[in-house]
Chain A
């Protein structure tokens, strides 16, 4: 029993991380059907917002507010300049966003250098849970991820933006007849996805090495979370994160973490063969 508590908390931490990094992917790839290989770089941008904010004397909480704004603005600008031209052709999307990803990585590295950035997270101590001491920051991460997830679901189900977006995804022609401007909706949706990824970047930063290439680690996993969970449904992200996160945690007790990650991705390919619509399809 004693061992079960840290195990479930570790699994929950990883699931929360996957949930955070995949929500933006669920909007951009799952709902809008745009393959965005620069998704990882939006996460990196979020983490580097924290680096800049702390460099200027600000704290973690300020960065937590600033990062989604930075992500939103950059996402909006890139959507207008590039992404809006490639909605129809998935291969074009792959090439353009991959090019974007390479440029962003290199530019970030040129500005900040190649060595990992030092940042300080909040809550340095640990908290006792049923007799087990667990890092307080991880508990905060779990709570924050669940709250963000709930808020995202609410935005999609209850607000006018969510309604317009869902309408324009079902039939952009019909939606535009009803007075929804699909270009505007697409731009705002893409920027929201970028903002969520940047938010994830700030939350991840205290747990990982912050470098220009940190985002790439989450690219394939977030794709698979969305695919396995069921593209087109936000709640599928929870199912996908839950499955991939708990499997990876369980496996990494027995084998090296990188090999465990590889094995889980391989398993996800097998799952897609037999259930191509995902666990919780829309």
Chain B
């Protein structure tokens, strides 16, 4: 088993009867976030809501990258499909306002899952793994971005679409900051806990085994391309869910929601939290978002340089991820102290 962050291996062999530390952290975070609106209101709360939706997006990437070890460089495609699906359905079609949000969300999620299934079929069944998969998914984001920019009559081109109505369902509207915050939190919490539950079971084990040796797993009778394809499609659907809710929350879509930079940023959110942990994706998103606020307030154009430097450091300095890097240092310090005694 390799131990780098790019090939993370979940350690569990059997489903644990008791709650693991990751689940306790996850539940703790959700509980803490539940009482957050008591302390912050208005605009600040809406930006926290966006962080929750980005965390959901990061979780979707971790579900695939962290669990299968195959890096998708094109996850913004699916986030963007969710966002554009929501926007196009609610702006270009006159659908009953009671169900328009639901139709938009389903259209976006369905499109994303369909694209993931088609592209995934061609590459995963074609035996493409590892780095080639990454390049093809990178191209996928470029293709999607080309279409978003080059088809103005539908997508609004460079300026995007404005006027996406707030999420509502059968008369329940999530227009004000507090209700839209709770909507995002409930969706994130449900997705986080259910993915952790699924991945601690049989599927998680098989995916880990595929990471180690796909041919052996095939010999045991598992259809590995199918399992990878299903995980990819589920991950894409979750990314689109985040994108659709983001578009409804902010009222607009723009081509930078379906661009390569966003695909890149989500990799960093996952990597900072430690890929493969699922709950780490949520923590990583919050940390990076906070850092981005600090750095952008000093110099807005410095941010891409920070991201670029982070990628290089990630490989050359802390290949297991920053969290593991710090933990290792702490452990080493402790050992040194014990040795001194």
Is A101 in the interface zone, CB < 8 Å from B?
yes
Q: For residue B314, which residues in chain A have a CB less than 8 angstroms away from its CB? A: 95, 99
B270-309: contact bitstring with A at CB < 8 Å (1 yes, 0 no)?
Answer: 0000000000000000000000000000000110110111
B302 to chain A, nearest CB (A): 8
A106 to chain B, nearest CB (A): 4
The interface on chain B, measured as residues whose beta carbon lies within 8 A of the other chain's beta carbons, has a size of 43
Is A86 in the interface zone, CB < 8 Å from B?
yes
Please report the C-alpha to C-alpha distance between residue A201 and residue B252 in the assembled complex, in whole angstroms: 36
> A93 touches which one: B128, B131, B136, B149 (CB < 8 A)?
B131
Please report the C-alpha to C-alpha distance between residue A106 and residue B261 in the assembled complex, in whole angstroms: 12
Q: Is the CB of B142 within 8 A of A265?
A: yes
A interface, size bucket = 35 or more
Q: For residue A99, which residues in chain B have a CB less than 8 angstroms away from its CB? A: 307-312, 314
Q: Is the CB of B316 within 8 A of A102?
A: no
Chain A: CB-nearest residue to B313: A99
Q: For residue B146, which residues in chain A have a CB less than 8 angstroms away from its CB? A: 258-259, 261-262
Tell me which residues from 73 to 108 in chain A have a Cβ below 8 Å from any Cβ of chain B: 82, 85-86, 89-96, 98-103, 105-107
Is B197 in the interface zone, CB < 8 Å from A?
no
Is B196 in the interface zone, CB < 8 Å from A?
no
Tell me which residues from 147 to 169 in chain B have a Cβ below 8 Å from any Cβ of chain A: 147, 149-151
Chain B: CB-nearest residue to A268: B139
Q: Is the CB of A106 within 8 A of B139?
A: no
Q: Is the CB of B304 within 8 A of A103?
A: yes
Is A243 in the interface zone, CB < 8 Å from B?
no
Is A270 in the interface zone, CB < 8 Å from B?
yes
Q: For residue A270, which residues in chain B have a CB less than 8 angstroms away from its CB? A: 122
Is B123 in the interface zone, CB < 8 Å from A?
yes
Q: Is the CB of B315 within 8 A of A102?
A: no
Tell me which residues from 254 to 271 in chain A have a Cβ below 8 Å from any Cβ of chain B: 256-259, 261-262, 265-266, 268-270
A6 to chain B, nearest CB (A): 23
Please report the C-alpha to C-alpha distance between residue A224 and residue B135 in the assembled complex, in whole angstroms: 9
A214-234: contact bitstring with B at CB < 8 Å (1 yes, 0 no)?
Answer: 001001100110010000000
What does DSSP make chain B's interface, helix, strand, loop or mixed?
A: helix
Please report the C-alpha to C-alpha distance between residue A86 and residue B131 in the assembled complex, in whole angstroms: 13
Q: For residue A220, which residues in chain B have a CB less than 8 angstroms away from its CB? A: 135, 138-139, 142
Q: For residue B125, which residues in chain A have a CB less than 8 angstroms away from its CB? A: 273
Chain B: CB-nearest residue to A271: B122
Is A117 in the interface zone, CB < 8 Å from B?
no
Q: For residue B147, which residues in chain A have a CB less than 8 angstroms away from its CB? A: 258-259, 262
> B139 touches which one: A96, A109, A265 (CB < 8 A)?
A265
What does DSSP make chain A's interface, helix, strand, loop or mixed?
A: helix
Between A85, A91, A105, A258, the greatest number of chain B beta carbons within 10 A of the residue's beta carbon is seen for A91
Q: Is the CB of B316 within 8 A of A106?
A: no
Given contacts A35-B131, A107-B305, whether A224 and B139 have CB atoms under 8 Å apart is yes
Chain B: CB-nearest residue to A257: B150
Chain A: CB-nearest residue to B143: A262
Is A209 in the interface zone, CB < 8 Å from B?
no
Q: For residue B312, which residues in chain A have a CB less than 8 angstroms away from its CB? A: 82, 95-96, 99-100
Q: Is the CB of A273 within 8 A of B123?
A: yes
Please report the C-alpha to C-alpha distance between residue A74 and residue B136 in the assembled complex, in whole angstroms: 27
Q: Is the CB of B150 within 8 A of A92?
A: no
Q: Is the CB of B139 within 8 A of A269?
A: yes
Q: For residue A216, which residues in chain B have a CB less than 8 angstroms away from its CB? A: 142, 260
> B311 touches which one: A96, A110, A273 (CB < 8 A)?
A96
Between B73, B131, B312, the greatest number of chain A beta carbons within 10 A of the residue's beta carbon is seen for B312
Q: Is the CB of B311 within 8 A of A90?
A: no
B319 to chain A, nearest CB (A): 8
Given contacts A220-B139, A258-B150, whether A102 and B71 have CB atoms under 8 Å apart is no
Chain A: CB-nearest residue to B121: A273
A-B contact list, 19 entries, CB within 8 Å:
A35-B135, A90-B131, A102-B305, A102-B307, A102-B308, A103-B304, A103-B309, A106-B302, A107-B305, A258-B150, A261-B146, A265-B139, A265-B143, A272-B122, A272-B123, A272-B126, A272-B128, A274-B126, A276-B126
Other contacts beyond A216-B142, A261-B143: 17, CB < 8 A: A82-B316, A94-B134, A95-B312, A98-B308, A99-B311, A102-B311, A106-B302, A106-B304, A109-B301, A110-B301, A220-B139, A223-B135, A227-B135, A259-B146, A259-B150, A266-B143, A276-B128
Of all A-B residue pairs in the complex, the 8 with the closest CB atoms, nearest first, are A258-B150, A99-B311, A90-B131, A102-B308, A103-B308, A99-B308, A262-B143, A262-B146
